[in-house]
Chain A
């Protein structure tokens, strides 16, 4: 029997966690690409608009190369020397599971704040 080291599903989210210091930028990049293919500068601007975070170029490409090596994104044909990237099925699965886990944490935190704290 052949065993895949990272079967689909639960392990796909784990794969995002294995990116270590890049897991933050990775989730932002995957979220941006969920909207459609983008090149480096378009990713930077999109992430800045929805997350208020500007990824530095080195950090962005470090995360892009790791995501590509993990099979979560793939490079498309280069246009005007700018290469767009698009989300893969693996990346979509990993992002979905990762964000659901994040949402669960956010829901618990917000519920507890609502019960115990009055915020202006």
Chain B
């Protein structure tokens, strides 16, 4: 086997690891792999071991597993992962919740469980929105402080991405909120806790979470502007979440602010748990004979699976959101033969 092909194999093995890990250990690890390849050219155990450890290093870098290279960076990454999970949960939940909230303004559900389910989901949405605002305040403060110190260049692009996508979603959501069948009415507005405009805004913002994608003929009948909105709004939502998560990873957040963000993450976790309870309550109440507006369809069951996955990812990240302390010990290397060995 040639040295060039060995180098190529080592390069492929190294690709399992995240860039930060490769920057720190890549060169020396490559030398070890070359020595190993020289002694044992082919063994699937080595490939499996490197792949598994590389994936664990990637999870650690995302704050989803323990023992990363930089514990403080991993704590910030864990918080960013929680923010992404909460955003995925919030978007899916908002699609589900706004559909029910609008339905309740147009129709009276037969089962009282549906109203209680919506009350739970409404409370949870309020908690999640509050948590998002509370989490954004110190982050924005840190970003501004960093920029004032003249070190804001790495934050510029994520800040612009976050701001532009948030503006796009707000303006688009406002524009389309009453331009869709069923979102403009307030016939039975007394039936629900939620003001029609709020429900319609969230409905329009998450319009892309729909089973219409599976029915192209029906989709083709939509006006071009709405189709464009349905295609662009998920991209804007993703850009918003990516920008915010990147800001969270790059901003110099003080330990005190990190502790505060962990508290907010706990609040978001509570919101997710309440929402999941409400969604479960809805599923149990929406049995046969339920009006179409309140029926749980395939898209809602898929939504529940997304909620469960996002909740689990958030729980996993929460375990690693606290920087791990490093131990200190006392021992000295053995000196000359006459010196006592001192290992405390």
The closest CB in chain A to the CB of B327 belongs to A6
Q: Is the CB of A92 within 8 A of B343?
A: yes
Q: Is the CB of A8 within 8 A of B344?
A: yes
* Cross-chain contact of A94 among B329, B332, B333 (Cβ < 8 A): B329
* Cross-chain contact of B344 among A80, A88, A93 (Cβ < 8 A): A93
Q: CA A71 – CA B54 in complex, angstroms?
A: 22
* Cross-chain contact of B49 among A11, A57, A70, A72 (Cβ < 8 A): A57
**Does A27 belong to the interface (CB within 8 Å)?**
no
Q: Number of A residues whose C-beta is below 8 Å from B?
A: 44
Contact partners of A60 in chain B: CB under 8 A: 32
The closest CB in chain A to the CB of B35 belongs to A41
CB distance from B156 to the nearest CB of A (A): 31
B29, B33, B54, B327 — which one has the most chain A CB atoms within 10 A of its CB?
B327
For window 15-36 of chain A, which residues contact chain B by CB distance below 8 Å? 15, 19-20, 22
CB distance from B259 to the nearest CB of A (A): 15
Q: Name the prevailing secondary structure of the B interface residues.
A: helix
* Cross-chain contact of B28 among A4, A15, A40, A93 (Cβ < 8 A): A40
Q: Is the CB of B327 within 8 A of A57?
A: no
CB distance from A13 to the nearest CB of B (A): 9
* Cross-chain contact of A58 among B28, B50, B326, B327 (Cβ < 8 A): B50
Q: CA A47 – CA B344 in complex, angstroms?
A: 25
Contact partners of B27 in chain A: CB under 8 A: 78, 81, 83
Q: Is the CB of A57 within 8 A of B326?
A: no
CB distance from B258 to the nearest CB of A (A): 16
For window 36-72 of chain A, which residues contact chain B by CB distance below 8 Å? 39-41, 44, 56-62, 64-66, 69-72
Knowing A8-B344, A81-B27, the reply to whether A44 touches B32 (Cβ < 8 A) is yes
Q: Is the CB of B67 within 8 A of A69?
A: yes
CB distance from A11 to the nearest CB of B (A): 7
Q: Is the CB of A12 within 8 A of B329?
A: yes
Q: Is the CB of A65 within 8 A of B25?
A: yes
Contact partners of B51 in chain A: CB under 8 A: 58
Contact partners of B332 in chain A: CB under 8 A: 89, 92
**Does B129 belong to the interface (CB within 8 Å)?**
no
Contact partners of B45 in chain A: CB under 8 A: 56
**A/B interface sample: 30 pairs, CB < 8 A:** A5-B325, A5-B327, A6-B326, A7-B328, A8-B344, A12-B329, A20-B66, A40-B29, A41-B32, A57-B33, A57-B49, A57-B50, A58-B49, A58-B51, A62-B53, A62-B56, A65-B24, A65-B25, A65-B69, A66-B67, A78-B27, A81-B27, A81-B31, A82-B28, A83-B27, A89-B329, A89-B332, A90-B329, A90-B330, A92-B333
Q: What 12 new A-B contacts, CB under 8 Å, besides A88-B329, A90-B328, A92-B331?
A: A8-B329, A40-B32, A40-B35, A57-B33, A57-B36, A58-B53, A61-B53, A62-B56, A65-B24, A71-B328, A89-B333, A96-B344
